[in-house]
Amino acid sequence: MVEEAPPGGPAPAAREHRWGKRLALWAAVLTLANVLADVAIGSPMMVLPQLLEQFDTDQAAWLNASAMLAGAIWSPLLAKGSDIFGKRRVLIGTLLLACAGALVCLVAPNVWIFLAGRFLQGAAFAAVFITVALARQICSPGAAMAMVGLVTSGSSVVGIIEPFLMQPVIEVFGHRSVFGMAALLAAAAALCVRSFIPESPIRGTGRVDVVGAFLLGGGLGAVLAYISLGSDFGWLSAGMVALLAAGAAALAGWALLALRTDEPIIDIRALTRPILLTLLALVLAAGSFRSMLQLTGIIAQVPPELGLGYGLGEGEAVAVLLAAPNLGIVVGGVCAGWLAGRFGPAPPLFGGIALGAVATFAMLAGVSVLPLAVVCGTLVGAAAGAIGASGYNLATGIEAPERQGTTAGLVSVVLALGSVVFNFAGGEVLKATRVPETFAAGAPVSTAAGVHLYVALAGVLFLLAAVPAAMLVRGRTAAPAGPGAAPRRGASAVGG
């Protein structure tokens, strides 16, 4: 069932149709909310050595992955809650949870309380898909698709400027200041959302399946933790095997519950062919572009003088190489959102995957040629931005309005799953081809054959992702003809 939002939220007819001052303000506020997710998850890595020393631990993997894994646990609950209780309300609650988590991390006296704070901070992971679902309901379809492209990729600008902004703060106030800044940012974002963003006009009815949410989230978190941390703690160690078994059992329990309950957290029976094709394309494409972004960070630190057959590390060129993908993400996401408003989201999804495939295979030569590597990195970033924005637009456009929050959450989880699994697989390729007693930037390096194999596998993933994306393009029906076009209720961007 569907019900209109109570007084205080706009009626469906009041949705924004054209870009103007109010829509620009909404886009800025929602982008600010998404910036929090990047800061909450990424900024502690700037002070990882200091955190390890502070807590007298060598468990860098847990400190690194804890917030993202917590995000997987939070996502199903917050996604379903946003459909029932209102997306703005849940977004504000999410930002306040992340603020509380940052404050806990700021004052944590030991590593266990710190990890509890990171668990709360992980709620910021949900900000991205809640802002997507909210944009879909407070704007007309064409304007919403453009806004989704902006809010999902605009936060990548922070990846370019964050180190330059945060380093002086850390030098003056100490390494814990990253959590103070995250708390201030979360509070500011919550206040701005409360002050300027209207509530979503359409809500579902019913209840939140809390047991199902924690089974699904806990199962995903445990499996992702096994994949992320297994190489550090031992794949067959008792703790890791128990973690994997617990995750598998939780996911099996969730699947059985979803098939038996009337209102599951995710209705498996309602996953249509277009949604499944979209999720398949996204998990493969996300794995490919994330693994390529990971590789860029690695080879950027390898000096060509080592004579390995690859390497780009040389002063300021490294900073350019690392910043280029973030710039590409912004351009790709914004362009994909604009194109989706005119031609539907399936073509820009396929275009982003095709662009990523071309850039990835070109990187076979780019691993030893800095100008080509910068171009390829920018294009892979543009592909990542286009794929993310188009994936959200496509999946939420297929779903009924009262389930768009849940579907956007599912897209976020699939993107994270692809990133973790294929980043691990790529890391294992590099680990298996290491050059004995050869190091760059303090870390062991791999052979040229290993690096080229890594790139080739990422390219193959893009080609595999292109198959379901091409099926979506062929099957698409009535996409919006322009920013003011409104499809009929329940109309899809692709055929079912």
pLDDT per position as a tens digit, 370-412: 899 999 999 999 999 999 999 999 999 988 888 899 999 999 9
Q: 155, 182, 202: which is the final residue of a domain?
A: 202
Specify the DSSP element, H or E, that contains 345.
Answer: none
Residue 5 domain flag: no
Residue 358 domain flag: yes
Mean pLDDT to the nearest integer, 10-35: 78
pLDDT in tens, 205-222: 778 899 999 899 999 989
Residue 351 domain flag: yes
Q: For residues 274 and 492, is the Cβ–Cβ distance under 8 A? A: yes
More confidently predicted of 228 and 346: 346
Considering the domain architecture, whether residues 368 and 313 belong to the same structural domain is answered as yes
What does DSSP say about strands 2-4 and 202-204: parallel, antiparallel, or unpaired? Answer: antiparallel
Mean pLDDT to the nearest integer, 52-56: 86
pLDDT at position 278: 96
Residue 276 domain flag: yes
Considering the domain architecture, whether residues 149 and 213 belong to the same structural domain is answered as no
Specify the DSSP element, H or E, that contains 343.
Answer: helix 316-343
> In the predicted model, what is the mean pLDDT of the chain?
86
More confidently predicted of 479 and 323: 323
Dist CA 143 CA 138 (whole Å): 10
Q: 202, 235, 256: which is the final residue of a domain?
A: 202
**Where residue 62 falls among pLDDT bands split at 50, 70, 90?**
confident
pLDDT at position 428: 85
**Where residue 486 falls among pLDDT bands split at 50, 70, 90?**
very low
Q: How many domains does the chain have?
A: 3
- Residue 434: DSSP 8-state: E
Q: For residues 223 and 251, is the Cβ–Cβ distance under 8 A? A: yes
Distances (CA, A) of 421 to 122, 198, 331, 359: 19, 37, 26, 21
Does residue 187 register a pLDDT over 70? yes
pLDDT in tens, 425-464: 888 898 889 888 777 766 678 899 999 999 999 999 999 9
Considering the domain architecture, whether residues 94 and 25 belong to the same structural domain is answered as yes
Considering the domain architecture, whether residues 250 and 131 belong to the same structural domain is answered as no
Residue 482 φ/ψ, nearest 5 degrees:
-170, 180
The residue assigned the tokens 């379901």 is: 468
Residue 146 domain flag: yes
Kindly report which listed range (135-149, 175-189, 314-328, 460-474) carries the lowest average pLDDT score. Answer: 314-328
CATH code at 38? 1.20.1250.20
Considering the domain architecture, whether residues 81 and 144 belong to the same structural domain is answered as yes
pLDDT in tens, 69-123: 888 889 999 999 999 999 999 999 999 999 999 999 999 999 899 999 999 998 9
Considering the domain architecture, whether residues 294 and 152 belong to the same structural domain is answered as no
Q: For residues 495 and 274, is the Cβ–Cβ distance under 8 A? A: yes
**Where residue 279 falls among pLDDT bands split at 50, 70, 90?**
very high
Residue 250 domain flag: yes
What percent of the chain is predicted at pLDDT more than 90? 49
Number of residues in the chain: 496
pLDDT at position 354: 98
pLDDT at position 314: 63
Considering the domain architecture, whether residues 446 and 391 belong to the same structural domain is answered as yes
Does residue 487 register a pLDDT over 60? no
Domain of residue 226, residue span: 209-264
Considering the domain architecture, whether residues 280 and 382 belong to the same structural domain is answered as yes
pTM: 0.86
Does residue 361 register a pLDDT over 70? yes
Residue 10 domain flag: no
Residues near 437 by beta carbon (within 8 Å), at least 6 away in sequence: none
Considering the domain architecture, whether residues 64 and 124 belong to the same structural domain is answered as yes
Kindly report which listed range (43-52, 95-104, 250-259, 378-387) carries the lowest average pLDDT score. Answer: 43-52
Residue 488 domain flag: yes
CA atoms within 13 A on the CB side of 290: 21
Does residue 297 register a pLDDT over 70? yes
